[in-house]
């Protein structure tokens, strides 16, 4: 791993754990055992650092999801594998990091929103169309409408006002969301596959 990757990974780890605002460039340099001057060889400032982390995270997600698409047996298997990947990402995410992104790094938060509106939307839409061809999703479902609903609901899971982490287990919340989504669009054949895959 090169030094830039180490910096990005360490910064992401600290930001996800304790929030972005709480971690100074001094803190990051100390935890990496390097000088601040070394950090500034790779990033212009903290905002640039956060932007680069978001960009890396999005690229990793695209790679992971593309791999899942290639290796899934059917549309429901694909959805459950993607859900498992997303859940692993959610486990690392602190409410403070989400709050900080929304409040202090608005451009980075908008990058995440755009990624959801295009990449996630297209994947869900394609997944629904695949499932309809396979006969495991209902044909009376609009792939476009459901994909847009999915994307908008996706953001609600990390909404602290609606689902505070103190009261709602994120894993249970996300599992309920996926179950609600698949059961809403699956055909009788699809429901059998869904129940079988969840065992």
Domains of the chain: 46-198 (1.10.357.10)
pTM of the predicted protein model: 0.88
Q: What angle do CA 168, 169, 175 make, to 5 degrees?
A: 110
Per-residue pLDDT of the chain (199 residues; tens, 9 = 90+): 699 999 999 999 999 888 899 999 999 999 999 999 999 999 999 999 999 999 999 999 999 999 999 999 999 999 999 999 988 888 888 888 888 999 999 999 999 989 888 999 999 999 999 999 999 999 999 999 999 999 988 888 888 889 988 899 888 999 999 999 999 999 999 999 999 998 8
Rounded Cα distance, 67 and 144, in Å: 23
What number of other Cβ atoms are within 10 A of residue 192's Cβ?
A: 13
Q: Give the total residue count for the chain.
A: 199
């Amino acid at each position: 791993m090169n030094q830039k990757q180490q910096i990005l990974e360490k910064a992401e780890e600290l930001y996800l754990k304790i929030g972005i605002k709480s971690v100074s460039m001094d803190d990051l340099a100390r935890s990496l055992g390097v000088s601040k001057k070394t950090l500034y060889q790779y990033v212009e400032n903290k905002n640039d650092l956060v932007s680069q982390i978001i960009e890396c995270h999005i690229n990793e997600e695209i790679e992971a999801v593309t791999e899942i698409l290639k290796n899934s047996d059917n549309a429901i298997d694909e959805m459950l594998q993607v859900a498992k990947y997303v859940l692993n990402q959610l486990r690392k995410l602190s409410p403070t990091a989400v709050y900080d992104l929304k409040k202090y790094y608005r451009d980075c938060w908008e990058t995440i929103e755009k990624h959801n509106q295009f990449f996630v939307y297209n994947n869900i839409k394609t997944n629904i169309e695949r499932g309809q061809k396979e006969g495991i999703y209902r044909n009376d479902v609009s792939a476009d409408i459901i994909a847009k609903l999915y994307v908008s609901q996706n953001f609600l899971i990390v909404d602290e006002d609606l689902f505070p982490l103190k009261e709602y287990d994120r894993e249970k919340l996300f599992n309920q969301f996926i179950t609600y989504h698949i059961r809403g669009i699956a055909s009788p054949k699809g429901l059998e596959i869904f129940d079988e895959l969840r065992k």
